[in-house]
Amino acid sequence: MKVLEEGKGRLFTDPDPDKAREFFRNKSRKLENKLMPLKTAIEKFVHDGEYLAIGGFGANRTPIAACHEILRQGRKHMGFAGHTSTHDFQILCAGEVFDKCDIAYIIGLEARGLSNCARKYMQSGKVEICEWTNYALAARLRAAAAGVPFAITRNMMGTDTFTYSGGKVIECPFTGKKFVAQPALYPDISIIHVHEADIYGNCRIKGIMVADDDLARASKRVIITTEKLVPNEEIRRDPTATRIPYYLVDAVCEVPFGGYPGTMAYEYFSDEPHLKEWLKAEEDPEKFKEFLKKNIFDCKDHYDYIELNGGIHKMNELRMKEHMLHREVGNG
């Protein structure tokens, strides 16, 4: 296969599927209890220098509780997949958790504005980057999930994004046309927040998966945080609802409201005032240090954080917003 052009970016992970298979071949597929506290899961499976990927998309169904715990445990020198990463990226930048980043959509919090903290960290020279698009990162995960070294796409050609990526323009051996070969991405560890899971790791996700099915299959280790634990009998009643099977999962952590202050589809809406509070605090470095100390480092866990910011009353308000019941109550 003829390579016509190459991006300048460095790959932070090895795309060789056979090397990945050596790891997967030895991974246990036993149906065993994987339930553990989130703190234990981070201690056991998230290590300095490894490559981390986060499930969800933007501020939707992201494992924020896990991001807080990673900061509390002081992880450093990690690689990171910036696949429409918003509030999770903001948090990890605050802790300077990673120094290598595959970037697609970062720094911006969509309509909420830009994170000063994330912007300063990414402009500090401390982080090596490789550029991609959101679709390219999804294609890279899809290739890894399929056990092949690259995926073929038609995007990025003729752009600066390609120039600073790790992709290659190749000539199709069948048609002679140009395509981009997107190298497979095998994260060392991924963390995915779901709606329901059993103790073995069978997971249900309501709404769109984004790339989380491929992410779970591509990752060497997977931590699941779940809104709710359900019996295995419930999973067996409707096996077609299982989006991530148990044998891909290494740890299951029950963390109700684990996506707060982001949105969890069908469960609760995002806490927009609190997200604005984050952005406001970032304007003053000293005030932001105090903010992080109060909201992350002085909190024992995610329950403390939620209690600090309105507790169950706030979560009930956000649940009503998600189901638009606040409109009915307001009109009643």
pLDDT at 204: 98
Q: Kindly tell me if the per-residue pLDDT of 332 is higher than 50.
A: no
Q: How far apart are CA 173 and CA 194, in angstroms?
A: 41
Mean pLDDT of the 272-292 span: 96
> What is the residue-averaged pLDDT of the chain?
96
Q: How far apart are CA 227 and CA 65, in angstroms?
A: 11
pLDDT digits (tens, 9 = 90+) for 181-225: 999 999 999 999 999 999 999 999 999 999 999 999 999 999 999
Q: Kindly tell me if the per-residue pLDDT of 330 is higher than 80.
A: no
Number of residues that make up the chain: 332
DSSP 245-305: -GGG-SEEEE-TTTTTTSBBTTTB---HHHHHHHHHHTTSHHHHHHHHIIIIIT-SSHHHH
pLDDT digits (tens, 9 = 90+) for 135-188: 999 999 999 999 999 999 999 999 999 999 999 999 999 999 999 999 999 999
Cα atoms in the Cβ-side hemisphere of radius 13 Å centred on 66: 37
| Residue type, position 65, single letter | A
Mean pLDDT of the 234-246 span: 97
pLDDT at 329: 54
pLDDT at 107: 83
All domains of the chain, ordered by start, with CATH?
3-266 (3.40.1080.10)
Q: How far apart are CA 251 and CA 54, in angstroms?
A: 15
pLDDT at 226: 98
Dihedral angle computed from the Cα positions of residues 141, 15, 121 and 223, in that order, rounded to the nearest 10 degrees: 50
pLDDT digits (tens, 9 = 90+) for 317-327: 999 999 987 56
Q: Kindly tell me if the per-residue pLDDT of 328 is higher than 70.
A: no
Q: How far apart are CA 162 and CA 168, in angstroms?
A: 8
pLDDT confidence band for 94 (50 / 70 / 90): very high
Q: Kindly tell me if the per-residue pLDDT of 1 is higher than 90.
A: no
- Three-state DSSP class for residue 212: helix
Model confidence, pTM: 0.96
pLDDT confidence band for 130 (50 / 70 / 90): very high
pLDDT digits (tens, 9 = 90+) for 286-314: 999 999 999 999 999 999 999 999 999 99
- In sequence order, the β-bridge partners of residue 100 are 79, 128
Q: How far apart are CA 178 and CA 240, in angstroms?
A: 38
